[in-house]
Amino acid sequence: MKRQKRFEKLEKRPVHLDGFVKEWDDEGLVAMEGKNDPKPSVKVENGVVTELDGKKKADFDLIDKYIAEYGFNIDKAEEVMAMDSTKIAKMLVDPNVPRSEIVKLTTAMTPAKAEEVISKLNFGEMIMAVQKMRPRRTPATQCHITNTRDNPVEIAADAAEASLRGFPEQETTTAIARYAPLNAISIMVGSQTGRPGVITQCSVEESEELSLGMRGFTAYAETISVYGTDRVFTDGDDTPWSKGFLASCYASRGLKMRFTSGAGSEVMMGYTEGKSMLYLEARCIFITKGSGVQGLQNGGVSCIGIPGAVPSGLREVLGENLLCMMIDVECASGCDQAFSHSDIRRTERMIGQFIAGTDYISSGYAAEENRDNTFAGSNMDVLDYDDYCSMERDLSINGGIVPIHEEDAIKIRNKGAKAIQAVFDGLGLPKITDEEVEAATYGSNSDDMPKRDMVQDMKAAQDLMDRGTTISDVIKALYDHDFKDVAEAVLKLAQQKVCGDYLQTSAIFDGDWNCISAVNDTNDYMGPGTGYRLWEDKPQWDKIKDIPWAMDPQHMDF
């Protein structure tokens, strides 16, 4: 065929590097309302669920059993299941219906009913509903702190800068698994240097992650995956009962945790039972609720390419975020893993969550250059900071990140790097040189860093675990090296674990260790004049307005 010149040009646009597929219901390649999805139903006899979404008790798999036992309020279930789903969807959007009224209904429905309700909403209505249904009134966001060499000095410097930029939660993982304790300590020390009150996690294998938390090296965990089909759950090496128990293990050590799930994971792992992404995700959300876990990271997450490829996929993704919030569970709403080659679609990816505001708009904004992101890249990274802040300023939206001045970044990066240098010295870990501190202060990615002897670092990491090092040792090391303020911040974090306030839904800390959660900062949105408005949060609005690259028309030299 003779090519049409405009089509040839269009094919060269970045969007054509993205994957798009047609729907295939039987393999689960369908966003919502799949042809094999069950019709909503429930039967409760003598306080026991005997039918759930078209399945009789004798046919329940492990997930059905768990949801039937723990997932929803059976006392009200038959009443809510009889309600018209469109009516409930309208209530979600109607600003006159308070959030608390809706939660009474949503926590008494089944996964298939929840899917049906969500499916009634268009994208704009979902934004309206998220604005009202997110548990915490004040929105926030979260970042990743990683680099491909697991360089601890760079982790600490990036964490310190990210704290200054406003991330109340920061997450690291490893390029090489054996680095885990060093990464966990580096992100914690760096983040507390940047702004006391930030909480950090280190995403590694389930048992190991818990053991880092038990030593006090982390404050929360989120990569505790749950899945929507029994086969995939088992392949993920857990069951609802093991994950529910793990949740209690975390709480027993004063550690905040949330589960993770998201559209596309069952497709990726090959067993969808022919069900749609939203239906399977609804099951994950009800497992989370039933486990008594305060929060969930969802919204495609690391499988975003799959919902992103099918029709209505990103509507489904915002829909699953909404479903999480509407059953009163904290939502860290994805917008993390790299999604598209197109800058326009990258913006599309986060725009619903960004406009509505969620507990954490991104559950992993790359607070390093994407090439250093060992979570396989994020939808947005450090080089998007100025675009993101401009959008917040343009739209008067608190997206959770504030612009900072270069000199302040240099100062805080340097302090974070020096603090981890002190901790490494105090714990007898391989030396961090002044040259490394300087490089981390002024560098932007791991190529800017001198190479470390990684074998020695890994041996030291193992030795640190074998010696039984805990958070007390980190505090002492900071204190002994004259980082009293950072020592104090790390100590305050340990103190908060004794109090457990931040185990409540959607909890974060401000710089004075005030715990802000859905318990004391309940979302009260009921239309104009209510809820969180950035311009009424003057300190935050002043920061967002103050982009360093804006001209001051009253003080210009011509």
Partner 1 sequence: MSEVDELVSKILSQLNNGDSSQSTGTTTASSVTPTSSPANSGKTFDKGDYPLFRKHPDDVKTPTGKAVSDITLDNVVSGKVDSKDLRITANTLRRQGEIAASAGRPAIQRNFQRAAELTKIPDDKVLSFYNALRPFRSSKQDLLDIAKQLRDTYHAPVCANWFEEAAGNYEISKKLKGDN
Tell me how far apart the alpha carbons of residues 34 and 277 are, in angstroms, rounded to a whole number: 8
CA dihedral 423, 425, 428, 433 (to 10 degrees): 120
Residue appearing with tokens 């103050």:
546
Amino acid identity, position 111: P
> CB burial class (10 A; 0-12, 13-18, 19+) of residue 528?
exposed
Q: Distance between CA 439 and CA 447 in Å, rounded?
A: 10
CA-to-CA distance for 439 and 154, rounded, in angstroms? 8
| CB of 328 vs partner 1, minimal distance in Å | 7
Comparing CB distances to partner 1, the nearer of 247 and 303 is 247
Q: Which is nearer to partner 1, 248 or 433 (CB)?
A: 248
Q: Which chain residues interact with partner 1 by CB under 8 A?
A: 61-62, 65, 69-70, 100, 103, 206-207, 210-211, 214-216, 230, 234, 237-239, 241-242, 244-254, 289-294, 328, 470-472, 475-476, 479, 484, 487-488, 491, 494-501, 503-505, 513-515, 517-520
Q: Which residue is associated with the tokens 């004040």? A: 138
Shortest distance, position 270 Cβ to partner 1, whole Å: 16
Q: How crowded is the C-beta side of 322, counted as CA atoms within 13 Å?
A: 34
Work out how close the CB of 479 gets to partner 1 at its nearest, in angstroms, rounded to a whole number. Answer: 5
- Residue 202 φ/ψ, nearest 5 degrees: -130, 110
**Surface-to-core class of residue 219, CB atoms within 10 Å of its CB (0-12 exposed, 13-18 middle, 19+ buried):** buried
Assess contact for 121 and 345: CB atoms under 8 A. Answer: no
What residues have CB less than 8 Å from 283, skipping those under 6 apart?
A: 63, 67, 111, 228
Least CB distance to partner 1 at residue 545 (A): 31
**In the complex, least distance from residue 201 CB atom to partner 1, rounded to whole angstroms:** 18
SS3 213: helix
**DSSP code for 183:** H
Q: SS3 for 406?
A: helix
Quote the least distance from Cβ 58 to partner 1, whole Å: 10
Least CB distance to partner 1 at residue 475 (A): 5
C-beta of 412 vs 487, nearer to partner 1 = 487
Please say which residue, 326 or 518, places its beta carbon nearer to partner 1.
518
For the beta carbon of residue 477, count every other beta carbon within 10 angstroms. Answer: 25
Q: Which residues are catalytic?
A: 142, 144, 171, 222, 297, 336, 363
Residues 6 or more apart whose Cβ sits within 8 Å of residue 554: none
C-beta of 46 vs 252, nearer to partner 1: 252
- Residue 192 or residue 414: which is nearer to partner 1 going by CB? 192
Report which of 417, 528, 534, 533 is spatially closest to residue 483, judged by C-alpha positions: 417
| Residue 547 C-beta: closest distance to partner 1, Å | 34
Asked if residue 260 lies in contact with residue 301, where contact means CB atoms within 8 angstroms, the answer is yes
The whole-angstrom separation of Cα 558 and Cα 71 is 67
User: Tokens 């304790």, residue?
Assistant: 181
Output phi, psi for 223, to 5 deg. Answer: -90, 50
